[in-house]
């Protein structure tokens, strides 16, 4: 396991009650109620948070690659993320599917950009070899 060369940011949260609880960041910018997936609860769940976090981070990675390679990204680029939760033997696991839209970009160039972003994205690096991640360029 590689350790960080330098810490650029540390996120801090306090969570109570698990999937039926609440989570709040130390700066108060995140303050959410949690509900188990598939229930009538009014809160979000860890899988939705993971989908939002991974897709936002992946867009950041695409922007970093684009800046390095001097590629102009479409202003309306987007990522639709799906995170599946299910049993893996006696435990539970997740799988990720992300559909990346880069309107107006050449398909081959878009796929090359996505592959490069997948190499530098912190979420991609954290999940690589641990869970199934499928990336599709729309």
- pLDDT of 1 over the 90 cut: no
Q: Which pTM was predicted?
A: 0.94
d(CA 108, CA 76) in angstroms, rounded, equals 18
**pLDDT at 106 (0 to 100):** 96
**pLDDT bracket for residue 116 (50, 70, 90):** very high
* Domain map (residue ranges) of the chain: 1-44, 46-137
Q: Do 1-44 and 46-137 fold alike per CATH?
A: no
Q: Does domain 1-44 have CATH number 3.90.1570.10?
A: no
Summarised one tens digit per residue, pLDDT across range 51-65 is 999 999 999 999 999
**pLDDT at 63 (0 to 100):** 98
- The tokens for 22 are 């609440």
> What count of other Cβ atoms lies within 10 Å of the Cβ of residue 47?
16
**pLDDT at 2 (0 to 100):** 75
Q: Do residues 69 and 61 touch, judged by C-beta distance below 8 A?
A: no
Q: So what CATH class is 46-137?
A: alpha beta
């Amino acid at each position: 396991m590689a350790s960080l060369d330098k810490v650029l940011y540390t996120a801090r949260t306090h969570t109570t009650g698990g999937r039926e609880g609440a989570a709040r960041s130390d700066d108060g910018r995140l303050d959410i109620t949690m509900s188990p997936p598939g229930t009538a609860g009014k809160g979000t769940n860890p899988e939705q948070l993971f989908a939002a976090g991974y897709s936002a981070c992946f867009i950041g990675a695409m922007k970093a690659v684009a800046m390095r390679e001097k590629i102009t990204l479409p202003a309306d680029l987007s990522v639709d993320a799906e995170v599946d939760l299910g049993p893996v033997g006696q435990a539970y696991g997740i799988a990720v599917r992300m559909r990346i839209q880069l309107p107006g970009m050449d398909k081959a160039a878009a796929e090359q950009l996505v592959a490069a972003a997948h190499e530098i994205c912190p979420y991609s690096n954290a999940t690589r070899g641990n869970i199934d991640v499928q990336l599709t360029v729309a």
